[in-house]
Amino acid sequence: MPLELDISRLYYSQVNKIIRDYIEKGEREFIIRGVNGHRYLFAGVSAEVKVELYGTPGLDLGAFMRGPVIRVFGNVQDGAGNTMDEGKIIVHGMAGDVVGYAMRGGKIHIYGDVGYRVGIHMKAYMDKVPVIVIGGKAGDFLGEYMAGGIIILLGMNTLYPERPIAGLFLGTGMHGGAIYVRGKVKESYLGLGLKPYPLDGEDEKLLEKHLKEYCEDFGLDLSEIFKEDFIKIIPYTHRPYGKLYAY
Amino acid sequence: MWNIALRAKELSGCGIAGIIHRKGELIPGEMILKAICCQYERGNGLGAGFAAYGIYPELHEYYALHVMAQNKQALEKVEEFLQKHTFLNFQEPIPTKKVKTIKDPPLFKRYFVRPKFDEEEAEFCDITAEDDRMVQLVMEINEKIDGAYVISSGKNMGVFKGVGFPDEIAEFFRIDEYKAFIWTAHNRFPTNTPGWWGGAHPFTILDWSIVHNGEISSYGTNRRYLELFGYKCTLLTDTEVVAYILDLLIRKHGLPLELACKAMAPPFWMEIDEMPEEERELYTAIRILYGGAVLNGPFAILFAYNGGLVGLNDRVKLRPLVAASKGDLYFMASEEAAIRAICPDPERVWAPKAGEPVIVEMEEGVIPNQKSYLKPRPAEVKEDALRIGYLPPLLFSSK
């Protein structure tokens, strides 16, 4: 039986203490209701726990965490998955800015749109490859300074039909990892040293694997997603700014 | 002396919140308080404040001056000045309550006035001239009367602000006793400028009020630009310039609201290059003419006037801003949770784009002194145009 908590009257630091105490005692499943603006939920938690959150969690949800699988029935605010290491955040709504900042492992699945600077500074090392899948559209600076990992942008479940699928400065300063976009982006929106490429067989396998899991999370139809072609955005040089000051 | 606490640079994270009822129905003060307190950690106790519109309906013909003074002598000087330059209809201390954590607050008094004119000037006396005169008088008090500041000067509105957390400042000013059709609130975390009573947000001039999260790195440029038009920056905080830029661009130069916002947070040249010709010409002109009004640095601001509430981000969205609506109520805040704290089930929640204002104006004819700035208006002052260029209305008449 999962442990049920209503935290609507509690301050975030109390909530985090209660959660940690329960985890310490061996509790592995949580259903938490009345979430509204509580910061740092499950931040730094190093345990394989399953969580359902109802409401709008506050800033830095799951920051630095290693292991928890958090399903959010609502929207998440800025900084969700900040520097997370392992685990998963599934958002049945939209997300704010700087989601998955400096992420080094684990997954973030978002049903709808995301804000600005999502997935910036993402990195990867050996078998640690962080993945962010965005069902809607993204603001400016998606994947800025990205050094590794995967961002998949679908542009499907969006509140903003008038906006482009990704904003300006897409992948600026990126020197590793890959951004997959369903559809097209204007090349003028791309950061320096980046190019869109068609997918090869490896890419297709990888996309299918990640998107299958994404569709299972939200009960979506995978074939619907593959009705449109993807492009892959990667740096064509390892050091895009290497010659900036050396003419 | 003012107790001006200047701290070493800390991480910034002010919180802002605003509510407007499009049909002018009154919203109790508890509501805005709840929204700003949901963002408690965004402040550090060095400043909080509220702007309320529609709180003086019986005296709506008069400019409501909220005056903050260090001592009685300063207040007396203000009164002497007002006797000389205004018709004073009514005055009273602003009701406050003792709050344990608020030590040595300044004195607060409100005056309901209309400016006096010389006989010659009186012939031309209209709303515009009255507004201009009020701006001058406020600048004069703030600059010349030691220890006294006018913290708000609009009709049927007022600002309540000071050093403390939002709940403390609300208790001090008895915010729960007011009802307003527009509220804005601020929870301050000062980073580069002192945390003192005058430096708390909102900042105002006439009925413009502004709350701000971020920092305006272009303060020096903006300040020098505004000084050319007679605005004096006396409150030691960057945000002050925004209030005066709004007054200059919108009220004086007649720019429609949206374009004024684009002057403050202009599109990048690379975006302008891709625009169709007419638009390109317009935005090029704006960037050239209003270079001094560009706000550089990270910001999310909310500003209000008698008739509207506007949210605006810097052009790369370095500070958060969320908007939502339910029926005639519109909400804007730093965090979605702040909105859900007072409206758990909004019909729409959205993240405004960087540099694109969210403008919510009230329905026509629902409040006294109602203003609408959606459309361009004729520039009010021509000599400005001679001294420093202003935009030929032709350029934006199609807007």
CB–CB contact A58 B337 (8 Å): yes
Is the bond preceding residue B376 a cis peptide, omega within 30 degrees?
A: no
Phi and psi at residue B26, in whole multiples of 5°?
A: -85, 140
pLDDT tens by residue, B237-269 = 889 999 999 999 999 999 999 999 999 999 999
Flag whether A242 is in a domain. Answer: no
DSSP 8-state code for residue B9? P
Residues of B designated as active site:
14
Pairwise pLDDT comparison (A236 vs B205), residue with the higher score: B205
Between the two ends of chain A, the Cα-to-Cα distance in Å is: 65
pLDDT tens by residue, B158-206 = 999 999 999 999 999 999 999 999 999 999 998 777 889 999 999 999 9
Query: Rounded distance, CA A82 to CA B345, Å?
Result: 28
Flag whether B256 is in a domain. Answer: yes
Flag whether A53 is in a domain. Answer: yes
Q: What is the DSSP string of B197-240?
A: GGGSSPEEETTEEEEEEE--TTHHHHHHHHHTTT----SSSTTH
Chain-wide mean pLDDT for chain B?
91
Percent of chain B whose pLDDT exceeds 90:
83
pLDDT tens by residue, A198-212 = 999 999 999 999 999
- Report how many domains make up chain A: 1
What pLDDT does B10 receive? Answer: 45
Flag whether B351 is in a domain. Answer: yes
CATH number at residue B165: 3.60.20.10
Flag whether A247 is in a domain. Answer: no
CA–CA distances in Å: residue B203 to residues B63, B149, B167, B304, B337: 16, 11, 19, 11, 25
Residue of A78, A160, A167 lying closest to B320 (CB–CB)? A78
The residue among B344, B41, B366, B352 whose CA lies nearest residue B188 is: B41
Chain A residues within 8 A of B39 when measuring between CB atoms: 37
- How far does CA A48 lie from the centroid of its chain? 19
Other Cβ atoms closer than 10 A to B268: 14
Q: Is the pLDDT of residue B363 over 90?
A: yes
Q: Considering only residues 219 to 278 of chain B, which have any Cβ-Cβ distance to chain A shorter than 8 Å?
A: 268, 270-271, 274
- Report how many domains make up chain B: 1
Q: What is the mean pLDDT of residues B59-79?
A: 97
Chain B residues within 8 A of A160 when measuring between CB atoms: 350
Q: Which of A33, A36, A117 to mutate to test the interface with B (most CBs of B within 10 A)?
A: A36
Q: Is the pLDDT of residue B397 over 60?
A: no
Flag whether A240 is in a domain. Answer: no
What pLDDT does A242 receive? Answer: 72
CATH number at residue A225: 2.160.20.60
Q: Is the pLDDT of residue B125 over 90?
A: no
Cα of B337 to nearest chain A Cα, Å: 5
Flag whether B1 is in a domain. Answer: no
CB–CB contact B354 A139 (8 Å): yes
CA–CA distances in Å: residue B222 to residues A57, B5, B132, B227, B324: 38, 25, 20, 9, 31
Does B288 touch chain A if contact means CB atoms closer than 8 Å? Answer: no
pLDDT tens by residue, A145-156 = 999 999 999 999
Cα of A169 to nearest chain B Cα, Å: 10
The whole domain housing A105 covers 3-235
The residue among A159, A120, A119 whose CA lies nearest residue A137 is: A159
The whole domain housing B222 covers 15-396
Flag whether A243 is in a domain. Answer: no
Flag whether A245 is in a domain. Answer: no
Flag whether B7 is in a domain. Answer: no
Nearest CA in chain A to B320: A97
- Give SS3 for B46: coil
Flag whether B370 is in a domain. Answer: yes
Chain A residues within 8 A of B271 when measuring between CB atoms: 168
Residue of A58, A77, A159 lying closest to B350 (CB–CB)? A159
Exposed/middle/buried for residue A173 (C-beta within 10 Å: 0-12, 13-18, 19+): buried
What pLDDT does A97 receive? Answer: 98
pLDDT tens by residue, A51-63 = 999 999 999 999 9
pLDDT classification of A67: cutoffs 50, 70, 90: very high
pLDDT tens by residue, B5-29 = 544 444 457 999 999 999 999 999 9
Flag whether B8 is in a domain. Answer: no
What pLDDT does A244 receive? Answer: 66
Residue of B268, B341, B353 lying closest to A36 (CB–CB)? B341
pTM given for the model: 0.93
Does B38 touch chain A if contact means CB atoms closer than 8 Å? Answer: yes
Flag whether B171 is in a domain. Answer: yes
Q: A119: phi > 0 → left, psi -120 to 50 → alpha, else beta; which?
A: left
Percent of chain A whose pLDDT exceeds 70:
98
Q: Is the pLDDT of residue B386 over 50?
A: no
